[in-house]
Amino acid sequence: MIDEYVPGLEGIPATKSSISALDGAKGILSYRGYRIEDLAKGSTFEEVSYLLLKGELPKANDLALFSDQLHEGSRVKYNVREIMKFLPPTGDPMKMLQTAVASLGMFYPHEQQNSELATKNNDYINCLSLEIIARMSTLVAMWEQMRRGDDPFLPREELSYAANFLYMMSGKEPDPVAEKIMDTSLILHAEHTINASTFAALVAGSTLANPSLVISAAIGTLAGPLHGGANQRVIEMLQEIGEPSKAAAWLDNRLKNKQVVWGMGHREYSVKDPRATILQGLMQELIESKDGEVSPLFETALALEKACEARLAPKGVFPNVDFYSGILYREMGLPGDQFTPIFAISRTVGWLAHWQEQVRENRIFRPTQIYVGSEVRDFKPMAER
């Protein structure tokens, strides 16, 4: 019997997986053996989704069929919209998303089937996964319009997944630079081994709950302030700094008081997060696309990045994916409280890939505990207490 308590199960293997791997000391992240840098440069979110779900990169006809299926599944039944309509427009978008995703299984009959079927039918399990991925971006974009009192924009079949999402968020077709930034961001956030939300998906999946509920459980976990939301806090941090000239002094005071600098450092990496390096390059592309004209907040971010490089890099603390994604999203006009739902759109692919692995060789999770309560004692009736 294990008698050592490890808080947070840190370092305790919870599963075996062939989906992703990271080497924090070398700054390597790979999906199914492919380096994230190569996928971000030469692939698309649709192609990476196929890779994560099915194990191999698709051929052209496979990808075309997969993309068509994503488009076909992107519309959401009006019943789901009715549920969303009665949610408070000022409410947290993550709570909306968890509610809406959990409801999907009630309106799509085949999703009500017990996940035990998935262990025997790969086509069935892939169909369920693909349809949830297709609807995630639609739900987030629908909410953006509905909370303003407007009707949602219907998805367009001729647009990529990333472009379609940006279109549904604003009603305007994005320019190529914005589409590339969103597509790359979705790739970078799609998977990252066994984090808290992925573990939640594994636990829920191990009970053979239907995949809508599995993803709802993962969304609820991602919504916690210790997991998702760091890129939104980066924006709030930059707004607090105010001006580029104040970044260095703000950072010195922050470090003096031992406060968190959002978007800096990562629990798994002792070198620069490879995803941050990729997004840093996209920052430069965005600047060039605007002929060097960027918002004051963007300039503050650049100043803070420079100050952090001088003070934190020697200590092994570098920008992570959240520092750059938040800035890029804001420059594209995306609301701060939608940053974490966008994260969820992307990470749903990883969650479902892990769900597939779990149910195919399933064993329900049943960890133990170290009991520290009272010894067995006699019960006394109320009159004798």
Catalytic residues: 266, 322
| DSSP-assigned states of every residue in 9-74 | GTT------SSEEEETTTTEEEETTEEHHHHHHH--HHHHHHHHHHSSPPPHHHHHHHHHHHHHT-
CA–CA distance, 109 with 130 (Å, rounded to integer): 15
Q: CB within 8 A of 123, min separation 6: which ones? A: none
Task: List beta partners, residue 22.
Answer: 29
Which structure tokens are listed for 306? 């420079």
φ, ψ of residue 248 to 5 degrees: the values are: -65, -45
CA–CA distance, 318 with 271 (Å, rounded to integer): 7
DSSP symbol at 273: -
Which structure tokens are listed for 259? 């406060």
Handedness of CA 100, 182, 319, 198 (dihedral sign): positive
178 class by beta-carbon count within 10 Å (0-12 exposed, 13-18 middle, 19+ buried):
buried
Query: Which amino acid does the sequence have at 260?
Result: V
Query: Which amino acid does the sequence have at 52?
Result: L
CA–CA distance, 168 with 166 (Å, rounded to integer): 6
Q: Which secondary-structure segment (H or E) carries 230?
A: helix 230-241
Q: Are 285 and 180 in contact (CB under 8 A)?
A: yes
Q: CB within 8 A of 330, min separation 6: which ones? A: 235, 295, 297, 298, 336
